[in-house]
Structure 1
């Protein structure tokens, strides 16, 4: 009886894990987003990511500096929210298309950042204003390179 129960538990657990894996695949890549409870633009960026197929785990934090330090976000690249997806860090209002390109290419970087809070970036829409801005990739040493450019002239 004990063997039957153990086997039944293993079989049921494997169905549960399979269902979770299928649900994640169907819902797109999982992304954990850390954000301040008072930032409205972060919520708009979360919606942009959801609409682009990411499955979001929304984590509210009162200590974003500690989150950024934990994940190695260089201070000069900091923005308002920090996300983790497939082992990469995504800092700030990075367009979902750039994140998807990174996930497909799998570059040897720590992540992507849209430093500051560029107007016209996802979640920072302000009427017709669209500032030109760069999304940069960065490594664990903090070295940054341009990954993509966005704005009126792009």
Structure 2
């Protein structure tokens, strides 16, 4: 069981049943995405990840998102609409698949995860025609935060 799952199990008695059901899904698929049920951009981002990384995404909508984010150590300033666990790393928000691939290839020991704060226009899942805005992919960990990639 991943450290996230252990932490989340310890954080709430109400989530124990969820985790028991989720454990087999997490072992079967390396990417587990947590999202709010009413968020449409999460589906679009998941499709971006699936098509770019040829992987299955298991969406969990039955867990309170603030608890997920807190248990995974997502800094409050980096919160977005969905959170994913990928091979021990946390992916928060609309992180491009190529940056996830880079993270998994490089495996920096001090990085806990990557985040794109908010929902920047033009990021994966937030496409709006030709409209875009610059955004950063932020690496976070015990060191704090640093820019991992920048997108214009």
With normalisation by structure 2, the TM-score equals 0.77
CA RMSD of aligned residues (A): 1.4
DSSP-derived class of the 1:128 partner: coil
CA contact (8 A) 1:89 1:112 kept: yes
Residues paired across the two proteins, number: 123
Q: Alignment partner for residue 126 of structure 2, among 124, 127, 135?
A: 124
**TM-superposition CA deviations, 1:90-130 (whole Å, max 9, x none):** 00000000000000000121000001111000000012111
1:78-117 equivalent positions in 2, closer than 5 A: 78-108=79-109, 109-117=111-119
For residues 35-74 of structure 1, the aligned pairs below 5 Å read 35-52=35-52, 53-61=54-62, 63-74=64-75
Q: Give the secondary structure class of the aligned counterpart of 1:83.
A: strand
Unaligned runs of at least 5 residues, structure 1: 1-23
SS in 2 for 1:57: strand
SS at 1:91 equivalent: strand
Which residue of 1 is the match for residue 24 of structure 2?
none
* Matches of 1:54 and 1:140, distance apart in 2: 29
Deviations 1:25-45 (A, max 9, x none): xxxx72100000000000000
Secondary structure at the aligned position of 2:31 is classed as: strand
Show structure 1 runs of 4+ deviating over 4 A. none
Shift of the alpha carbon at 1:144? Answer: 0.5
Instruction: For residue 62 of structure 1, report the CA deviation from its aligned partner.
Output: 5.2
Task: Specify the SS of the correspondent of 1:49.
Answer: helix
> TM-score normalised to the size of structure 1?
0.76
Rg (Cα) greater in structure: 1
Contact residue 37 and residue 62 of structure 1 kept, 8 A: no
CA distance in 1, matches of 2:64, 2:86: 20
1:72–1:140 CA contact under 8 A, matched in 2: no
